[in-house]
Amino acid sequence: MNASILQVNPKDNVLVALHNLKKGQVIDWQGKPIELFSDVPAKHKFTIGPLQQGDPVIMYGVTVGKVQLSLPAGELLTTENLKHAADPYGFRNVKLEWEAPNVDKFRELSFQGYHRSDGRVGTANYWLFIPTVFCENRNMDVIKEALLNELGYSVTQKYKRYTRDLVSALEKGEDLLTVQLQPSGAPNHRVFPNVDGIKFLNHDGGCGGIRQDSEILGKLLAAYANHPNVGGITILSLGCQHLQTNDLLKEIKATNPQFDKPLYVFEQQQSRSEEELITEAIRTTFKGLQEINQLKRAPASLDKLCIGVKCGGSDGFSGISANPAVGYCADLVVALGGKILLAEFPELCGAEQDLIDRSVDEATARKFIHLMDSYDALAHQSGSGFYMNPSPGNIRDGLITDAIKSAGAAKKGGNSPVVDVLDYTEQATKPGLSLVCTPGNDVEATTGKAASGATLILFTTGLGTPTGNPVCPTIKLSTNSALAKRMGDIIDIDTGPIITGEKSIQQMGEEILAYCIKAASGEVIPKAVLLNQEDFIPWKRGVSL
């Protein structure tokens, strides 16, 4: 890789700056000098040759925008001179061609997982608390504080100790700035060593809004109850809400007719007091925890892996380092017979034709086209569109159109055939790459991927984000080494060596899969899990980019 610049695809008419470049600097490109007309910050793009107003900008081999005025060679692309544009797409009945990567070094490996009666294998064993309505969130919080602290799952002890020290300093009249946060010390003792955590799905739904919102929420919560990383469930219900307990139980059975996990229901309006409700919920859950604590990890072949791929807090290196490396890992998993879930439909805008051409049959391609067209039309009806997806942080770091962002984001899915397209909450059942309809929003997307069955999530970031998921361990990968050093408390894997040329995409992809095997076995705990980063936002099927 050139130390200063990169052409991502031979068809591209722009170059990416790998570090800060100065105005007037002359870049040698294939024997041709290009003088820069502006400073070009690292991760941003500049023109290889002159472009006329209305000309397309090509990156990743596809159209990612059109220039708004004539530009000379060496001009920085900005939101002022470039606007989003993408090529039209449609079903073309292209013959599938894919050469799977060599997986000999992984073929005989296994991971230590929790085997469920439906044949799926979890990478963790969690107890899950589900409220049918937002009215129960406060009771959930009370139970959460009681159980996590006493059973050894809390991560807040050092901050509680810090607060106590501040109170002590205040009472003594000491300078608060002298009070230091003390290290955590010895890890918490877990009462139930084979229970990896107790998780809580607080949400703002279940009543109000429209009935369809509650119906979708019921399908989402049922998918989480059936998740292979969940060993048992406690449901808290108020009683009068739209999402009735019986409806949720029917959805759970509809998702899995052989559902056999311990499940307990507590309805507040049938209880004599809040104290009785909480006490009974804790006592009964305690018995359930004893039951699932009897489960132990056992070997599972790698075809039992179901990995979601996600990017958030993306930067101009996301589509160059972390996402392609995750994509290579995804291809390895597919070659081994496992499942890969690629979501974030607003961030596939511009990459549609490639995914359509990779679909295994016309029905799969047509379903993807339908979901993309419907989503885009809904966004436009609201006066928005996929073109408004990039955040201010994305734009500052080089992702100035949605098509640039999308073309790089799609790299996370690798190059294997698309075997299925799943609407929100639909379950992944086919080995291979599936597309999952979710928003681009980090938490809504991870929430949806876990609902479709992901048991690990690979989450790439160039800017840093604390996102995680309650039931699906989330592995964070930095696109650049500076982020890995600055936010080392949340980053698990640094793919920055790809940018510097120290490692290839293939080498990094293999390292990512090796880490996934350890995480799936409980040998390493991703930092999002250690920090209890457990974000959960149901999608109401409105416009969310």
**Mean pLDDT of the 414-428 span:** 97
Using pLDDT thresholds of 50, 70 and 90, give the confidence band for residue 392: confident
- Reported pTM: 0.94
Rounded to whole angstroms, the Cα distance separating 468 from 152 reads 20
Q: What is the predicted pLDDT for the residue at 470?
A: 97
Q: Are 190 and 126 in contact (CB under 8 A)?
A: no
As given in the structure block, the two tokens for residue 70 are 């004539």
Rounded to whole angstroms, the Cα distance separating 485 from 456 reads 24
Neighbours of 103 (CB within 10 A): 18
Rounded to the nearest integer, the mean pLDDT of the chain is 94
Rounded to whole angstroms, the Cα distance separating 54 from 82 reads 9
Neighbours of 211 (CB within 10 A): 10
Give all domains of the chain, ordered by start, each with its CATH number. Answer: 5-83 (2.30.130.110), 115-153+188-297 (3.40.50), 300-477 (no CATH)
Q: Is the pLDDT of residue 52 over 90?
A: yes
- Spatial neighbors of 468 by CB under 8 A, at least 6 apart, are 446, 474, 528, 529, 531, 532, 533, 534, 535
**Mean pLDDT of the 52-60 span:** 95
Q: Is the pLDDT of residue 185 over 70?
A: no
Q: What is the predicted pLDDT for the residue at 544?
A: 67
Q: Which residue has the higher pLDDT, 542 or 369?
A: 369
Q: Print burial letters for 138-160: b (CB count within 10 Å at least 16), e (below 16).
A: ebbebbbeebbeebebbeeeeee
DSSP helix/strand/coil, 381: helix
Q: What is the predicted pLDDT for the residue at 541?
A: 75
3-state percent breakdown (helix, strand, coil) of the chain, nearest 5: 35, 20, 45
Residue 170: alpha-carbon gap to chain centroid: 42
